[in-house]
Structure 1
Amino acid sequence: MAAADAAEGAALVAEADTTGRTSGAKRGVLAPLALAQFICSFAGSNMNVMINDISRDLDTTVQGVQVAITIFLLVMAALMIPGGKLTDRYGRKRCFLTGLAVYGVGALLSAAAPGLGVLILGNSILEGIGTALLIPPVYILTTLLFADMTSRARAFGTIMALGGIGAAAGPLIGGLITSAIGWRAAFVFQAVVIALIIILSRHIEDPVPPDPTRPFDTGGAVLSAVGLILLVTGILAADDNVWLMLALIVLGALVLLWFFMSVRAKERAGKEPLLPTSLFRSRTSNLGLVTQNIQWLVLMGTSFVVAAYLQVVRGYDAIQTGVIFTAATLGLLVSSLAAARLAQRHAQRTLIMTGFVLTTAGIAVLLAMVGGSPSPWAFAPGLLLIGLGLGVMLTPSVNIVQSIFPEEQQGEISGLSRSVSNLGSSLGTAIAGTILVAGLTTHAYAAAMITLAVFGLAGLAAAAFLPRGTGPSTVP
């Protein structure tokens, strides 16, 4: 459920509908970029409906599948900013094709995995690295190849819409493939799409030559990645050893502090760091990033917890679980399609606060109705509200952050924004998932959902501190 792509995409499509058609040549370039976003979004959401099937086939546990999903999201979060930086040095198209190749190898390895370790290597590590390499070029190439605002809006609308389709339909498509053929076929499907993208990419030309002399902050990339990995791994260890959890979290925080100190030292020495500190000097942007992180945390946490509960506690199969999630998909698409009009009529702060209210209310409804009803349709009202809330607030949060910075910093803030979002995704799966798998009962489910509701309220509080001047605007 990579809902940000659906929200942003539907808004951009709605706004760009009045413009002329993209030329045939540009449409040929756009196809592989949009398909790349589709398959990455699909990969982020379809594994949740395979929990039982993978657990049985690989002789592992729900916690093992949770670890695989969390590491995939974490690898993307840790490497998205370095991946964006590498495009300047080695070229956008080269990084895009390299990312596709790494992703494809990971998908095939996952399909043939004899155990959880190989699945983690293929899906979590290689597909995560591939995604971090190929996604930044998708947005950079689109910006460079579609120069005028009208065609660029249509291009981004197409890419985001395909991403939204992949994310929203991921559980249903994954459930259908798993039920009809098997969970391994879902990874073969990804590899086939990757092969198609590579074939279509022959028409892409990088409009800006790479600069091999461009410096790359290797030390900063390593420190930031290690710090994030230690932090999330500590949360995953909570169920096994509290002291190990605390040690890993503290160590992760210290490594991240070391990273920011090294960034400041490089800036004082006149060198180019991985991430300039100027990106954190705006209070409005910082609050916007906090809301983005919490939105994704709640989104992916809810997705994993509900999917695991349905399959492990209620005993539903993959396709039944995917069908139940269509309620969230419907809510997301409805609010996303209205996002452009809402942005013109209401302050972005208001939309973000409304989104958190709807999402938190949806979690409360899930707790109230699911606990007292054996019917699978008891999940529908809560999931519908969560989908509506997320669709309302995801685009304004991105707009607030992006609009703070000048054009020359858009690449850096875009990388930071997506890294923060992916970190939220991994934290949501780690925190809520760890609470759930500790008991795998209705009580554990309730505890996990209450925790997510608390995070939702924290997001609402952060949104309340946004300046009231963040008023109506169009989607960039």
Structure 2
Amino acid sequence: MNKWRGNPWAILAVLSLGFFMTLLDLTIVNIAIPDMVGRLDASLDQILWVVNAYALALAVLLITAGRLGDLRGKKTLYLSGVGLFTLASLACGLAQGPGQLIAFRAIQGIGAAMLIPQTLSMIIEVFPAEKRGAALGVWGATAGLSGAVGPSFGGLLVSRLDWRWIFFVNVPIGVLVIAAGLVVMPAAKRTVRHRFDVPGVVLASISLFCLAFGLIEGEKYDWNGLIQAMIAVAVVTMAIFLVYQRGQQDNEPLVPFELFRERGFTLINFVGVAVSFGIVGLSLPLTIYLQSVLGFSAVKAGLLMLPLAAGAVISAGPAGVLSQRLGGKYILMAGLTAFGGGMVWVAAAAGAGSGGGVVIAPLFVTGLGAGCTFTPMASEVMRNVPARLSGAASGVNNALRQVGSVLAAAVVGAVLQARLASSLREQAQQRAGEIPAAYRDRFVQGFDQTGGHLEIGGGSRPANLPADVAHRVEVVAAQVFGHGFVDAMRPTIFVSAGVLLAGLIACLFVRSVRGPSANPHGLPVSDEELAAQRG
């Protein structure tokens, strides 16, 4: 097997498999939300923390982990991250309550943060410049595919087994990645010793945690003083972080401000955040809609989302080729248009009494759009970044995308809960006339008291009712939840589509450059080349 050691394509396969496994966990959990709510006796806001604990730990630690790879060796950190992620996945599958699951998901996020920055750095190291574009295309397509297939694969596991297997499945994959990595990856190298910006890490962590907590729990606590204080702390801490980072620019800062002087880098990073909003903003409400409103099993819901994955797979490859011929800017704009348009189409087509088939075509269009975003973003974001900052730029890029996922899940969850609380009350009041008069007030109060602590499937039902009345209450309650959730889902999806529109507008200000990335993750750009590109 020694002939495989150092083979770039074998290394890329190992890196892509680990990368795929970690990004898959950002979306695969969504399909299991109804199952976890029931089996763990958890609330929707608790399950949202299961989603966000992983993304938050991942986002906060990405840049620091990238520096650790330079210090301890990329192979060492990559395989250590895979090992920690695998053990945490096993622990998640064995969790006995929502609190344990949230804690183990955070540890999963730490493992993912250790390995993700090393994937891009090692691709840069092992591939020659002329093949780096193709390898980068595989890396970008892996990112897109992971988000698209998560719901389908998760639905199959949840239906055939149960929610725990969305975590157990990572164990054999992790073991395979470690075994293959030990065989094909070159020996770990210790390169440049970096200073760790501990105050920067602490300040960024506090700010992100307080912001996510405030947004996720705001509706539950009726946006009281605690929530307002958390958001205020997030804003103040972020301001302190930026001031502190400004003073550290000559001393290996956590975020080099020089990166953001390049307009393309700044704008494409914003587009990456917008794409994260699109993925989370569609998958979270749609999986609940398919299962809890239409009553589909997890596997059927996952199969109905396969057109999303199919569209992404079909368009990802051609998008990379067309980006070189036409320019990544235009492919990104086309992709964002189809992505956002497909989401709006999904929201318009979905109804409380419609069949699942109405979302197939719009999901396919959405997938085509998503597939046209990942590879162009991966190549365009590093264009014109100085070679000495390529490692930091990779870390910042990955971190901002994950911050986008955290913010997206927090914002989408907050909007969904707020709209659902309101729409359930409205629907209960409108439909209360369909049940006997003696029970109407209790029926409406059952939904009115849900507030921000919502149970998927409806509100509280009056107990100790005659059999015929109880049956009628159940039927009407299901109608209340179905119509109420659809009424809440539409504006939730529109919020994410609006963020995608902002990303589309940002693309208008990206310089148009054809051909491969002028600086494919590490190659210096001469003044003449830079001047030629900028026209």
1:83 to 54, 58, 65: 65
- Which of 486, 492, 495 is matched with 1:448 structurally? 492
Is residue 134 from structure 1 mapped to residue 115 from structure 2 by the alignment? yes
Bigger relative contact order, structure 1 or 2, given CA contacts below 8 A and separation 6+? 1
Contact 1:358–1:386 (CA under 8 A) maintained in structure 2: yes
2: CA distance, partners of 1:193 / 1:92:
20
How many residue pairs end up in the alignment?
A: 447
Q: Does 1:242 align with 2:231?
A: no
Aligned 1:19-168 pairs, distance under 5 A? 24-25=4-5, 26=7, 27-123=9-105, 125-146=106-127, 148-168=128-148
1:398-438 per-position Cα deviation (integer Å, ceiling 9, x unaligned): 33321030222111111111111111112222111222234
Deviations 1:116-145 (A, max 9, x none): 01111112x111000000111222223223
1:343 & 1:161 partners in 2: Cα distance?
Answer: 13
Specify whether residues 389 and 275 from structure 1 end up closer, same or farther in structure 2 by C-alpha distance, changes over 3 A only: same
Aligned to 2:507: 463
Q: Is the 8 A contact 1:54 1:65 kept in 2?
A: yes
Larger C-alpha radius of gyration, 1 or 2? 2
Aligned-partner residue type, residue 141 of structure 1: M
What are the Cα deviations for residues 254-308 of structure 1, in whole angstroms up to 9, with x where unaligned?
11111111112123xx422112111122233222221111111121121111112
Per the alignment, do residues 344 and 225 of structure 1 end up closer, same or farther by CA in structure 2, a change over 3 Å counting?
same
Q: Per the alignment, do residues 90 and 344 of structure 1 end up closer, same or farther by CA in structure 2, a change over 3 Å counting?
A: closer
Quote the RMSD (CA, aligned, Å).
2.2
Task: Identify the residue that residue 261 of structure 1 maps to in structure 2.
Answer: 243
Give the corresponding residue for 1:198. 178
Structure 2: gaps of 5 or more residues: 421-483, 521-535
1:142 is matched by which residue type in structure 2? I
Q: Distance in 2 between matches of 1:142 and 1:301?
A: 31
Q: Give 5+ residue unaligned stretches, structure 1.
A: 1-22
Distance in 2 (CA, whole Å) between partners of 1:392 and 1:433 is: 26
1:191, distance to aligned residue in structure 2 (A): 1.4
Q: Is the 8 A contact 1:347 1:471 kept in 2?
A: yes
Aligned to 2:532: none
The answer to whether the 8 Å contact 1:66/1:433 transfers is yes
Shift of 1:151: 4.5
Structure 1 match to 2:469 = none
Q: 1:408 aligns with which of 366, 377, 388?
A: 388
2:324 corresponding residue in structure 1? 344
Alignment of 1:374-413 (within 5 A): 374-413=354-393
The answer to which structure has the higher helix fraction is: 1
8 Å CA contact retained: 1:70, 1:429? yes
Q: Could you tell me whether the CA contact under 8 Å between 1:266 and 1:273 is conserved in 2?
A: yes
Instruction: Output the amino acid matched with 2:266.
Output: N
Instruction: Name 1:7's counterpart in structure 2.
Output: none
Counterpart residue type for residue 362 of structure 2: G
Task: Flag the 1:155–1:345 CA change in 2: closer, same or farther, 3 A.
Answer: closer
SS at match of 1:183: coil
Q: Distance in 2 between matches of 1:183 and 1:112?
A: 11
Report the CA distance between 1:351 and its aligned residue.
Answer: 2.6
Q: Does the residue aligned with 2:255 lie in a helix, a strand or coil?
A: coil
1:474 alignment counterpart: 516
Mean Cα deviation higher: 240-249 or 125-134: 240-249
Conservation of the 8 A alpha-carbon contact between 2:315 and 2:368: yes
Identity of aligned residues (%): 27
Question: 1:171 deviation in Å?
Answer: 2.0
CA shift, 1:46, in A, is 1.2
1:222 counterpart = 2:202: yes
- Is the aligned partner of 1:274 residue 2:318? no
Note closer, same or farther for the CA distance 1:200–1:348 as it changes in structure 2 (3 Å cut): closer
Alignment correspondent of 1:251: 233
